[in-house]
Structure 1
Amino acid sequence: MRIIGLDIHRAFAEAVAWEDGKLRRLGRVDMRRALLTAFAKRLSKDDVVVVEATGNAAAVAAVIGPQVKKVVIANPMQVRIIAHAKIKTDTIDAGVLAQLYASGFLPEVWVPDEPTQALRRQVTRRNQIVRQRSRLKNIIQSILHAHLIPSCPHADLCGGKGRAWLAEQIVPEDERLAIERHLREFDRLGEDLTVIERDLAGSALADDGAKRLMTIPGVDMIVALALMAAIGDVARFSDPQKLVSYLGLNPSVRQSGPGPAYHGRITKQGRGHARGMLVEAAWVAARAPGPLRAFFLRVRARRGQHVAAVATARKLAVVIWHLLAKGESYAWARPLLHAKKLRDLELKAGHKATRGQKGPAHAYNIKSLREEERRWVEQAETAYARFVTGWNPRGPKRARAGAATEER
């Protein structure tokens, strides 16, 4: 069996084969699909190809995969830590990939299936459009700031009231034209955003996991799909702490010799966008009644609200693992609110409105039913707060004293 390392670039890849304990350079491979396919056909069904995770690694694996035994995608960050060298060339890098796999030290990454990759692309496109729209708002605000105009008194600068206020402000003619141009671009991006969110809503309606996550307070369609795209198959995480680590929400640890271990800030490794979505959901959950709000308030009293938000996001990751792994809904879900979320999904996906008919989400419009559901969840919040009253995160004092005595 040969192990072939490919050091991939945008236009070409350097190929090196590891066979019988020796490295042999195979030369450069053009990254155009037809030429890459021709190279793959020269390989054997017993060969293993190793590449680093790059922007086009999945496409390379899709082309080469049918022609070889296996295509392995390596974690580039961990490969650099293991194989750091003063002398670096493409040939050396390709050879290192092959040798690391042959020795069993290659840190592999999980390759999602095609539906998960498509969902990741759609979530990324939406995120890019949202960031571009935020950037345009900031540019308009900077133009106003440059001419000593205070911030817009309305919540949305590009909304109806915000634009009416904006039209009343006195700025030079060239700046006025620039603002109008930015607003037109903002509207065009809004149309693209509507199309993408319609597709995402259809994906959410067809995904039982996403609908299950939406039973959690603070988790809407966008958060649920971002998490489903990042997690993929939850079975690859054997316990919730593995998922927490994958999302970069676990604390960093420093320990050496006989000294104690020091826990610092979260590692922030892994899927950054999904981690950000979880933190946003944590802020929303902190304002909604339920055990999650009680948890947030308890941590906030000791560590401040920002640490509490991150801790709640970590708690959400643990809850999400249990929901997906066990196929259950959130225990303290609000059924009426969840029905409204699903109905909003249907409308966003393009389903026809049924005016005059009482659907599953109609009960949410009845105030008495909403308040009754809210009181039920508030009781769960009170019960959780009572349960953890006096709880010491460092353990009983007697146990700590005994441990200190044993150390002496």
Structure 2
Amino acid sequence: MRYIGVDLHKTNFVVCFLSEDDNYKLETFPLSKAGINRFTSELSKEDAVAVEVTQNIYYFYDQIKTYVGRIVLIDTYRFAIIASSKKKTDKADAQALARFLKLDHLPEVPVPSEKVRQLRHLLQARETLVGLRTKLKNMGHAALTRNGIALLRSAFASGVARERLRTRDDLSAADKVILESALRQIAELDKEIEQLEAEIVRLGKTLAGVKRLLQLHGLNLLSAISLLAEIGDIHLFETSKQLVAYSGLATSIRQSNQTSRQGHITKQGRKRLRTVAIRAVLSMVNRTNTPLMDFYARKKREKGSG
């Protein structure tokens, strides 16, 4: 059996082949069809591979998964040997991955299903477009403010409201051009976001657990799909505490002797899951009157907010 560490990049990948007797070989392959074919030709079903999680990780994973016995996807930021290494080279990283794979001491990332992968990509694209739309709205508000016009956020919320802004004639010439540019781009982004949301709903409405989540009054379909897509396979978590820790929502603890203090949430986990969960709760807080929201309000009074 060999332990293989892979440092994956956009155009190539560096590989360390480590044998049972600690002999190793370093080799670099181009990230192309020919390069991957050459790499897989050297693999066997007894091999184990450890590879860093990068943007193209699932492409690489799909290409080699049938050629080896085990593939371990690594969260590099939690693997301090690489994240804080003073010798940060591709060959050193590949060698470290191989050696710690042999020790079975690597922070492993679960591999989501193909549907979950596609949903995560779509959700990330939607989040990017929503962020661009927010920047454009801020640009429009800035143009209005420079002319002594202070409006609520709802001024850009709908097509009707934006059409009223388009007809204003109390802006300077430059700010009029800026506002019209922002309004045009916002309208186009609305269409693109709508198309992405339609595809997200089409793919995600059949996810196990969607109907149960929708029983939470105030949680919409898009939020429910987002939560389930970011969680992935719920069966990986034996307890709710494990899921809370995975999302980084567990409170930090400082304990010494008989003193124990709890601090803020750790934020050590899947950031997008944490963000989706927090947004989902905040969207329900002021819209519903349920036992869950009563619990939230009670905890907020006890512990404060912020």
**TM-score higher than 0.5 here?**
yes
Tell whether the 8 Å contact from 1:4 to 1:47 is kept in structure 2 after alignment. yes
What is the CA–CA distance in structure 1 between the aligned matches of 2:174 and 2:276, rounded to whole Å? 38
What is the CA–CA distance in structure 2 between the aligned matches of 1:137 and 1:261, rounded to whole Å? 46
Q: Which residue of 1 aligns with 2:88?
A: 88
Q: Match of 2:89, as an amino acid?
A: T
SS of equivalent to 2:7: strand
Tell whether the 8 Å contact from 1:251 to 1:264 is kept in structure 2 after alignment. yes
What is the CA–CA distance in structure 2 between the aligned matches of 1:266 and 1:151, rounded to whole Å? 36
Q: Match of 2:290, as an amino acid?
A: G
The farther-off stretch of 47-56 and 267-276 is: 267-276
Query: Which portions of structure 1, spanning 4 or more consecutive aligned residues, are displaced by more than 6 angstroms?
Result: none
Q: Which residue of 2 aligns with 1:27?
A: 27
Q: Which residue of 1 aligns with 2:105?
A: 105
Q: Cα offset for 1:69?
A: 1.6
Superposed, 1:185-200 pairs within 5 Å as 185-200=185-200
Q: Cα offset for 1:217?
A: 2.0
What is the CA–CA distance in structure 1 between the aligned matches of 2:293 and 2:263, rounded to whole Å? 24
Q: Cα offset for 1:96?
A: 0.5
What is the CA–CA distance in structure 1 between the aligned matches of 2:202 and 2:272, rounded to whole Å? 21
- Decide whether aligned partners of structure 1 residues 164 and 283 sit closer, same or farther in structure 2, where only a CA change above 3 A counts: same
Tell whether the 8 Å contact from 2:18 to 2:24 is kept in structure 1 after alignment. yes
Q: Which residue of 2 aligns with 1:182?
A: 182
Deviations 1:322-345 (A, max 9, x none): xxxxxxxxxxxxxxxxxxxxxxxx
Deviations 1:125-173 (A, max 9, x none): 221111111111011112223x242322462325313431453252332
What is the CA–CA distance in structure 2 between the aligned matches of 1:205 and 1:51, rounded to whole Å? 32
Q: Which residue of 1 aligns with 2:151?
A: 152
Matched, 1:281 2:280: yes
Tell whether the 8 Å contact from 2:11 to 2:31 is kept in structure 1 after alignment. yes
Tell whether the 8 Å contact from 1:6 to 1:49 is kept in structure 2 after alignment. yes
What is the CA–CA distance in structure 2 between the aligned matches of 1:84 and 1:131, rounded to whole Å? 31
What is the CA–CA distance in structure 1 between the aligned matches of 2:105 and 2:83, rounded to whole Å? 10
Matched, 1:270 2:299: no
Gaps of 5+ in 1: 308-408
More strand by share: 2
Q: Which residue of 2 aligns with 1:241?
A: 241
Deviations 1:159-202 (A, max 9, x none): 31343145325233233223222222111111111111112222
SS of equivalent to 1:51: strand
Q: Which residue of 1 aligns with 2:215?
A: 215
The farther-off stretch of 157-166 and 13-22 is: 157-166
What is the CA–CA distance in structure 1 between the aligned matches of 2:108 and 2:60, rounded to whole Å? 16
Q: Which residue of 2 aligns with 1:203?
A: 203
Q: Match of 1:271, as an amino acid?
A: R
What is the CA–CA distance in structure 2 between the aligned matches of 1:82 and 1:176, rounded to whole Å? 51
Q: Cα offset for 1:24?
A: 2.2
- Decide whether aligned partners of structure 1 residues 37 and 183 sit closer, same or farther in structure 2, where only a CA change above 3 A counts: farther
Q: Match of 1:27, as an amino acid?
A: E
Gaps of 5+ in 2: none
Deviations 1:241-262 (A, max 9, x none): 0011111110012234x25222
RMSD (Å), alpha carbons: 2.0
- Decide whether aligned partners of structure 1 residues 273 and 149 sit closer, same or farther in structure 2, where only a CA change above 3 A counts: farther
Q: Match of 1:279, as an amino acid?
A: I
Tell whether the 8 Å contact from 1:137 to 1:158 is kept in structure 2 after alignment. no
Q: Match of 1:60, as an amino acid?
A: F
What is the CA–CA distance in structure 2 between the aligned matches of 1:33 and 1:80, rounded to whole Å? 32
SS of equivalent to 2:289: coil
Q: Percent identity?
A: 29
TM-score, scaled relative to structure 2? 0.91
What is the CA–CA distance in structure 2 between the aligned matches of 1:170 and 1:81, rounded to whole Å? 60
Aligned length: 304
What is the CA–CA distance in structure 2 between the aligned matches of 1:34 and 1:149, rounded to whole Å? 62
Q: Match of 1:170, as an amino acid?
A: D
Q: Which residue of 2 aligns with 1:60?
A: 60
- Decide whether aligned partners of structure 1 residues 272 and 149 sit closer, same or farther in structure 2, where only a CA change above 3 A counts: farther
Tell whether the 8 Å contact from 1:154 to 1:162 is kept in structure 2 after alignment. no
Q: Cα offset for 1:61?
A: 1.1
Tell whether the 8 Å contact from 1:152 to 1:165 is kept in structure 2 after alignment. no
What is the CA–CA distance in structure 1 between the aligned matches of 2:240 and 2:48, rounded to whole Å? 32
Q: Cα offset for 1:95?
A: 0.6
What is the CA–CA distance in structure 2 between the aligned matches of 1:299 and 1:98, rounded to whole Å? 46
Tell whether the 8 Å contact from 1:12 to 1:28 is kept in structure 2 after alignment. yes
- Decide whether aligned partners of structure 1 residues 292 and 70 sit closer, same or farther in structure 2, where only a CA change above 3 A counts: same
Tell whether the 8 Å contact from 1:217 to 1:284 is kept in structure 2 after alignment. no
Q: Cα offset for 1:124?
A: 1.3
Q: Cα offset for 1:66?
A: 1.4
What is the CA–CA distance in structure 2 between the aligned matches of 1:9 and 1:168, rounded to whole Å? 51
Tell whether the 8 Å contact from 2:205 to 2:225 is kept in structure 1 after alignment. no
TM-score, scaled relative to structure 1? 0.70
